[in-house]
Chains A and B, each alone.
Chain A
Amino acid sequence: MEFFHKQTRIAFMSTRKVWYALSAVLMIGSLGALATLGLNLAIDFTGGVSVEAALPSAANVDAIRTELERAGFREPQVGIFGSSREVAIRLPPDDSRSVADIRARVEQALLAVEPGAEVRKLDVVGPQVGDELRTSAVWALTFALILIFIYIALRFHTWRLSAGAIVAVMHDPILVLGIFSVTQTPFDLAVVAAILAVVGYSLNDTVVIFDRIRERFEHNRRLPPMVVLDQAINQTLSRTIMTKVVTLIVVVALLFLGGPVLRGFSEALMIGILAGTYSSIYISSAIALDAGLTAEHVFPTVKKTAADDMP
C-alpha cells in the first residue's frame, strides 16, 4: 500500500499567499479569542474546589447548590456529568479558609443533601498554589520556546530557515490555545503538557522537510529555490502523512477511550498535530522562501578570504 504511487509534484509554494491568509485569519482569531474570552482555566491554575461524586439516585442539583451556599460558598457551580447520578461541583478559590476546612464543609454539604454519595474525587487547591502553577506553566512554555529557538538557530545555518521554523512553532500552540478559548474547553496542567509535546512534534516535521531542502540544494544548487522547496516537501510528503496518520490513530484512541481526565490533553494533541502538519508543509518553508532563501545560504560556495572583505 502506498498513499502516492508516483512521486507527487504538488506546487505547494505557488499557492502560499492563500495559506498565509488562512493562517493570518486563524492567528488573529485565536489571539482575539484569547484576549476576549480567555481560557477556561481548571482549578490547577485558579485554585478552588472540584468534586466528583457518584450518587445512588439522580442528583438533586439545585438542593446541593443551595446547601453549598448555606455553607458559605460563593458562586458554587453544580452540574451533572456522565450520567444523572454523577455530580460535579466546582467552587472558586477562597482565601479566607484553610484547605482542610473547605474540604470538610463541602463534604458535609454534599452528604447532607445526598447521604449515599460516594466522593470519587475531591481536589482542593489553595489560591497560592494555583498562582504558582500558572506562573510555572507560562515559564515552561516560554522556556521551551527559547530552547527551541536556540536549537533552531544552531541547527540551520541561515536565519531564513530559522524564521520559518519559529513561525511554524508559534503557529501551532497559538491555534490550540485559540480553539480551547473559543470552545471554553477546561484548560488544565495536562493540556500544557500536550501543548509542549505539540511544539516538539511540529518542529519535528519542519526539521525533516528542512533536512531535505538542504539535501536537494546539495544535489543541484542551480535549481530555483521554489522548485527545490516543492521537491523537498513532495519527497517527504508520504512520510509526513504516514507519521501523522499513525500518531492520530493513537491520539484518537486516547480521546475516545482514555476517559474524561485525558480529554483535554487528547484534544490539544489532536488539534496540535493537525495544525503542525499543515504549518510545516505550508508555512515554514514558505516563510523561508519569502525571506529569500537560496542555495547560497545553505551552502556558501566561495570561502571568503580576508582580502575579499577589504573595501
Chain B
Amino acid sequence: MQSKTSFFNGTIFKKNLTRYWPLWGMASFGGALFPLAMLVNLLHGSNAFRMEPLEMREIYFNVLTYAVPVISIVYAILCALAVWGYLYNARSVGMMHTIPVKRDSLFVTNVLSGLTMMAIPYAVTGILVVLVSLAAGSFDGLGTLVTVGGVICDSVCFFGLATLCAMVVGNVVALPAVYALLNFIAVLTDATINLLAQGFIFGLNGSYSGQFEWLSPVVYLMKKVSADCEYGQIKEINNIEQYYYTSKLTSVTLENGYILAIYGAVGVALLVAAYFLYRNRRSESAGDVVSVKALKPVFRYGVAFYAAMLGGRLLYALFVESYDYSDVLRVAPLSVCMFVAGAIGYYAASMLLAKSARVFTKKSLIGLAAVAVGCVAMCITMGYDLLGISRRVPTADSIETLTVYVAENNYNLRGGQDEELIEAVRKMHQTLVNQQERAKQNSKERCFETNGKVAFTYLTLEYRLKSGLNVQRRYNLYLSEDVMALDPDSYDAAIDELVNSPAMRQRRIHADDGAKVTGGWVNSYNGNGFDLNEREAQALLDVLKQDAAEGTWGTYDWFDRDYETAYAVDLDLEFQIVDSDGRTHYDYINIVIWPEMDHLTGKLLELGLAEPEDLISRHEYDERFNWGYYDKDPEVEAMLNAYSKAATETVIGGAYATTSVVVG
C-alpha cells in the first residue's frame, strides 16, 4: 500500500509503530499505572483524589512542570533512536535508501512515527486520568487542555532536538551522547567557565551564573514554568453551627506557560533544520561520529575546549595546588595544564573522527598550535581580567533589583524605589573593586586569621539588571579595625559606613521593602523560649523599628567588642519576601538585645515573652550560671584540678620525631 501523499508513506509508518511497539507499549503501561492507582483509591472509598477541579488543575500543572520535561527528555531520545537508528548502519541505511521512497517522504514519515510514539503513552495516561477524574467529579476542562498543549510542546521540543542530533551524528552511541550534551551544554559551559574564572577574577565566586539556562530546556522549564495558585479565605459553618475560616484554592494558572509554546516552536524549527540536513546527508557517513563535514572541526575543537577547561583544572589541582595553597590561580602553570588536557582532547576527537589512531600527523600540529594559543589566550584574558569583569559595577539606572548580603543580613533593594541605598551600595562596591589588590593581598596573608582587630566577613551582591542579565559577586573580606578608623577612603570604612547607616539599619529589619513578618522565636540562655505568632512578631518588629530609629539598635559590631554586655536573650524574626518573579522566599534575622533597647525590652515584658530576671547580660549569665557555678562545685573543682595537672604533662613528638613526655 503506497500512500497517495508524497510526503507520507503508510508502510514505513506502520513498520515503525509495529516494530517498536514494546517501546511505546511499556511507556503507556508505566503511564497508565497512575490513573489506575487513582481508580483503585476511589474504589476503596478514599478521598485522596476526590478533589475540586481546580485542585486537579494544580496537579496537572505540577506534573506538566516537573514530570513531563524529565520524561520527555528521556523518552524523546529513545523514540529518535527507534526511527533514525537505520542511519548508523551501512546495511540498514542502504536498504532504506534503496526502497522506492523519497528522502522527503522518509523524513516526514519517520518524524510522524516518532511523534506518534511519543504521543501514545501520554494519550493513554491522559485519557485514563480524564476518565477517572470524571468519575471522581474533579474533571477540569481548561486544565486538561492546557496540559495537553504543554505536553505537545515538550514532546515536539525534545523530539526536534533529538532528531537534529540524529542528523548530525553517524553513530548510534554518539546520538544519545550528543543529545545529552546539547541539552545541558549551556549549563555545562557556564559552570566550566565559571569554575576557572572564579579562580582568577576578584569577586567571581559563583560556580554557575545561569545566564544561558534558556539553552537547556529541561532546566529552564522546571525553573520558570510553574502552577500559580491563589487562595482565598472562605467562611464556613460546621455541624454545630460554628463559623470558621478555611483556605480555599480560588485560581490556578500556568505561570510563564508561554515558554512552553516557545520551546514547541523551537522544536519545529529544529525539525526543519534536521530535514535539510537529512536531504543532504551522505549515506556513507553511517558509522562516523559526526556525519556533517562542516561540523567535524566544531567537534574536534569543542572536545579540545572542554578537555582543556575541565581536564586542565583537574591537572592544576593535582600537580600545582598540591603545593600552592593560594586561592588565586596562576596563569603560566594553568596554561600548561590546559594545553596538556586540550591536546589530549584534540587528538582523542581526531581519533574518533578518523576512526583510527593514526592522527599524529604534521598537519595536525597546526590544530594543536591553535589549541595552545586558545589555552594561553584564555588564561591571560582571565588572569589579567582583560574583559574588566572584576571592575564592573552596574550603573544605577540599569539596575532592576539589588540583593545584598553583608554583616550576616540580607537586604533587598529595588530600582526606582531605593535609589539612595542602591547608590550607596554601588559606591561601596566601586571602592572595593578599586582596592581589589589590597583585598586579595589581605585574603592571602590573613588566611584563617581573625582577632579583635581583624574581622572576616562575606559580602554578596546580586544585581538584576533591566536587560534581564544578572551580575553576581561574592567577596571574602578581612576588615581591619585600624584601617577602618584611620582611612575613611578604605573599603573597610566604606562597608562599615554602609552597613551602619540609618537607612540600612531600617532595611535590615525589612522596613519598607515589602517583606512581611510571619513569625519568630524568643530564645533565652536559660533554655526558655517562645514561638511567636504573626501578631506578636509584628508587635516586636514595630518597637524594634523605634529602637533602630533612636539609634539604640542596629550598629553592627564587626569585632564583637561589647558582645558580653548584650542580654542573655535574643530574638529571631521570620520574614516572607515575594521577589520580582512572584516567588516567595523566607529570610530570618537574629536580633541581639542590648540594655538600651527600651522599646523592645518593654514589649517583651509586656507580652510576657521575657521576665525581668531574663534581662541580664551574657557576661553576668555566664558568671552566675556557668563558670561561677562550676567554680563553686567541689566535684567540678576536682575535675578542673585534674585537667590542670594533666596539662603540665605534655606528649610531644610522633611521626617525625622521638616521642617523649615533658613534665612542667
Q: Are A and B a genuine interacting pair, yes or no?
A: no
Interfacial residues, chain A to chain B (CB-CB below 8 A): none
Interfacial residues, chain B to chain A (CB-CB below 8 A): none
